[in-house]
Structure 1
């Protein structure tokens, strides 16, 4: 009888211990489940913090790494350097024969890549972000192919986009839009000062930028590249020939015959000499010598290695400095 009583008591105790153990196990399991859930939420949050979703000019939702390390941005290197970013490769033509020389103090050790970004070359560089200057660069199914290699962001829909907008968009991609705006503000301050210096020295003369390359002459578009700096930013007068040539083309630089150049009614010419060795014979031509600005000795010659053929905050600042040195000397 005593045995039965003890057995019942022990059974009750064991039952109590079992219930307690079950409760503790259930509690632990619940806590573990909550911890797992919390960990997943935290991991998800961390994953989101390492990328940003930005919409490009073509409407693509692009998931961009928070801190891209291997960037390819053909012909946008000026913007990258201005923002303190070094690309993994730099734009070139002719297997590195032609590069943006004016940026080489920052990009001297950066390998080159062909301007048209061949898929295999891009793939070998293992970029974590690709930035395209225009929609033209991703025509057909190119966008899909590039985006398989790395997140691909397209800056603008046009072949030639406003350089200010480009800088702000590049800044947005890297979460540096405020820095990009500061660069623009400083540039505008430089331009305001330059306009005053030029006006005090020579008023508002008419000017033209002419590029000599391969024995041929090219004139800058009134509204693009160096033309935008000369006429829109610095407010210098646009010669009739420049207006005429610009109206027929959307290219940055347009071929112009020497016979047409004779009609150039510019007070000053900025000559970008890309024919250093052969230029002498071309520039000794009687037609060139008959141009009013040439006869007046108002030709300001520069190497094609300078920034005149390019655009961006760094290039444009250098152009402004060169114009001031030429006209306000």
Structure 2
């Protein structure tokens, strides 16, 4: 097992090393932080003085977690970090953009490519790196990241469940009570949403589709907005979702011919092709019962329907309530 210590980073550029030492030295003294730092996390929520601790991550690495990390890099983990009151030092991005449903919360936070190039990571001088899946640290990347900052890999078993992810990150940051309070609030939101939409959707089948580059995708039912509608709210799945093979992907492509068999009463359509007619003008699409009945609710791709997390789920529920009030 490789134990990661701050004093193993002597190879860093002098300026970065000095910054890292200053950040770790300030530990439990928030008043010593400068205005230049991107994160102003609160002290440990338990009310006790936070201490550095050594823990094992999802891959078995021994990782030294700083007492009070101030420059956390958690690419694609911004949702749980924000729930815990932590503003990351940089945010996930791809060629098509960022997680736009978090645009307001992450205002002013610079972007970092989703593949996390080590040299770019180094430029942000993080004092803690949080990684979702094991694949993100393959081919020697873990060794490179761990020389820059303590690097904790959640592992797919935790990362694939946003509640487990939130609780694990909260545990690392000594904010478990913050997480539990947020989760309790989420469950209250679920209850209230059921009461609002139940009379209209209770016995109806609901489909969630995504169209991008003129290809349709259906959520696999266990993640993203599928987990919210079918898991949290208990809404009924359409026939095509029930017969899809088990898939690791969040969204599974489906032919228009197969989609024509859809028996959903309502469709939530995440449209990344907005402004392009594409398959939405095809007769097979127009003849789907829910489409003919005008029960298609189009969601812009900037909404949270493609993502996992407490904030994402909360926004999805708001969208469902809004659509049912139309």
Range class of TM-score, shorter chain = 0.7 to 0.9
* In structure 2, C-alpha distance between the alignment counterparts of 1:154 and 1:202, rounded to whole Å: 39
Alignment check: 8 A CA contact 1:136 1:159 kept = no
CA shift in 2, pair 1:317/1:49, >3 Å:
closer
Q: What is the Cα deviation at residue 103 of structure 1?
A: 0.7
Question: What TM-score does the superposition give when structure 2 sets the normalisation length?
Answer: 0.82
5 Å-filtered alignment, 1:1-329, equals: 50-94=51-95, 97-158=96-157, 161-245=160-244, 247-278=245-276, 280-329=277-326
Secondary structure at 1:229's aligned position in 2? Answer: helix
Question: What TM-score does the superposition give when structure 1 sets the normalisation length?
Answer: 0.81
* In structure 1, C-alpha distance between the alignment counterparts of 2:196 and 2:236, rounded to whole Å: 16
* In structure 1, C-alpha distance between the alignment counterparts of 2:50 and 2:266, rounded to whole Å: 54
Alignment check: 8 A CA contact 1:129 1:152 kept = yes
* In structure 2, C-alpha distance between the alignment counterparts of 1:61 and 1:181, rounded to whole Å: 26
* In structure 1, C-alpha distance between the alignment counterparts of 2:98 and 2:279, rounded to whole Å: 25
Secondary structure at 1:308's aligned position in 2? Answer: coil
Q: What is the Cα deviation at residue 54 of structure 1?
A: 2.7
Which of these two proteins has the greater Rg computed from alpha carbons? 1
- Which structure is higher in helix share? 1
Q: How many residues align?
A: 281
Alignment check: 8 A CA contact 1:58 1:157 kept = no
1:272-316: per-residue Cα shift (whole Å, max 9, x none)? Answer: 0111221x2431211110111101111001100011111111000
* In structure 2, C-alpha distance between the alignment counterparts of 1:302 and 1:103, rounded to whole Å: 16
1:105-148: per-residue Cα shift (whole Å, max 9, x none)? Answer: 12121111111111111111111110001112122432222111
Alignment check: 8 A CA contact 2:202 2:235 kept = no
Secondary structure at 1:106's aligned position in 2? Answer: coil
Alpha-carbon RMSD across the aligned residues, in angstroms, is 2.0
Alignment check: 8 A CA contact 2:133 2:155 kept = yes
Alignment check: 8 A CA contact 2:69 2:128 kept = yes
